[in-house]
Each structure stands twice: as C-alpha cells, then as structure tokens.
Amino acid sequence: MKEYFGEEYARKHFTDVWSEGWNTYKNAFYIQRPEYMVKLSDNDISNITGSLQSIRLYNIMPLMMLNGEKVLGGTQAFQQKLSELYLSRIGQPVTYDHFLTATGLDREVIELE
C-alpha cells in the first residue's frame, strides 16, 4: 500500500487503524477485568472472546509483523523471509512457530507492549 498509494495513505488507513485497534484491545473491559466473565454463559464468553480475537488477528498481528519487519531490517528482508517460508511449506499449513523459525524472530521481540 505504501508503494501504491504513498506513506501517508498507508499510515492513515492501515497503521493508525491497527494502533487504534490495539488501544481498544488493551483497554477492553473484559481484557482488563477477565474475572467478570466468570458469571457469563459459555455462549457469551465465546462471543466476547471471538470479537477480541478478531482484533488480535486483524489489528495486533499486522502490528507485530511491522515490528518483525523493523527487526529484520526493512520490508525487502522481511518479504524475502516470507517468500522462503512460503516456498518451503507450499501446500502445507503454516503455523506461528513455522513463521518464527523461518524468520529467526523471537516472540518477545515482535510482541506489542
């Protein structure tokens, strides 16, 4: 997106949105006070964790990827590692551990604070 539409566009429509999602997740009531979920039914807990999971997948994970990109030295280097991972596991499922092994990144390094 940065290459197609410029840095400003990418920041406004992606990075800022992800950061906002991360802030929402950090401040979410049931993340800060999980003890309140004890009295809820399994269905309600599932709905709450499901909505939080979508923030984890679509906002937090991209920010973690950005962190990984910075650690590896830029977009090109990161995409090279991803390309290698894709080719090595073509047609097979790719887990988070596969990703960490292929890129040589540590969980702690890319996780958000």
Partner 1 sequence: LNRITVFRYELKRLMFSREYLLLLAAVTAYSVSLLRGLVLYGVNYTAPFSLLTFSTYCYSLCPFFFVLLLVLCARQFKTSERGAEAIIKTTCMPFHIFRLVRYGAIACAYLFAMVFPFAACFLFYNLIINYTDFGILLLPGVLIVVPPSVFLFGASMLFGNRKPAAIYIMLVGVLVLSAFKIPLPDLMDIIGTAAVQALYEGHDHAFSAAFIAGRFVLMLVGFVSMIISLYKSKQHYT
For the bound state, the minimum distance from the C-beta of residue 38 to partner 1, rounded and expressed in Å, comes to 10
For the bound state, the minimum distance from the C-beta of residue 51 to partner 1, rounded and expressed in Å, comes to 7
Q: Which residues lie below 8 Å from residue 24, measured CB to CB, with a gap of 6+? A: 55
Q: Which residues lie below 8 Å from residue 109, measured CB to CB, with a gap of 6+? A: 67, 68, 71
Six token digits for residue 2: 């940065």
Minimum CB distance to partner 1 smaller for 34 or for 104: 34
Minimum CB distance to partner 1 smaller for 25 or for 99: 25
For the bound state, the minimum distance from the C-beta of residue 33 to partner 1, rounded and expressed in Å, comes to 8
Q: Which residues bind partner 1 (CB under 8 A)?
A: 24-25, 27-30, 33, 36, 39-40, 44, 47-48, 51-52
